[in-house]
Amino acid sequence: MQLVGKRDRLLRPVANVGCPRRKEQSDYQGNPGCHADPRGDIEVAAGLCRAIGELIDEPRLTDYWKFVHEGTSRPYLQRILDFSNATRGYRMEDLEAKAAEGIPAILCTRTYPKIGAWEQTQESRPWYTRSGRLEFYRDEPEFMDAGENLVVHREPIDSTFYQPNVIVAQPHPLLRPKSPEDYGASRQDQSGDARQARNVIMSVDDVLKSHHPLHTYGYNLIFHTPKYRHGAHTTPTDLDIIAVWFGPFGDMTRRDRRMASVMDMYVDIHPADAKMLGIEDGDYVWIDADPHDRPFHHWQDNPKWYRVARLMARARYYPGTPRGVTRMWHNAHGASMGTVLGAQQNPTGLCKSQTTQYQALFRSGSHQSCTRGFIKPTHMTDSLNVKELLTHDMTQGFVPDVHCPTGAPRESMVRITRAEPGGIDGVGLWRPAARGLRPTYENELLQKFIRGEFVKKS
pLDDT top residue among 351 and 13: 351
State the architecture of 7-24+219-373+410-431 in CATH terms.
Beta Barrel (2.40)
Query: Mean pLDDT over all residues of the chain?
Result: 90
Q: What is the DSSP letter of 179?
A: P
pLDDT digits (tens, 9 = 90+) for 359-400: 999 999 999 999 998 888 999 999 999 998 878 889 999 998
H/E stretch holding 267 reads strand 266-269
- Say if pTM beats, i.e. exceeds, 0.85: no
Distances (CA, A) of 396 to 142, 215, 385, 407: 13, 41, 4, 21
Parse the chain into domains and list their residue ranges: 7-24+219-373+410-431
pLDDT digits (tens, 9 = 90+) for 15-25: 333 333 333 33
The per-residue pLDDT for 90 is 97
Amino acid at 44: V
The per-residue pLDDT for 4 is 39
C-alpha dihedral (288, 292, 297, 303), degrees to nearest 10: 50
H/E stretch holding 338 reads helix 337-345
pLDDT digits (tens, 9 = 90+) for 23-64: 333 334 444 444 456 788 899 999 999 999 999 999 999 999
Q: Which of 249, 255, 286, 263 is nearest to 364 (CA)?
A: 286
Share of the chain above pLDDT 90, in %: 77
Q: What distance, in Å, lies between the first and last C-alpha atoms of the chain?
A: 65
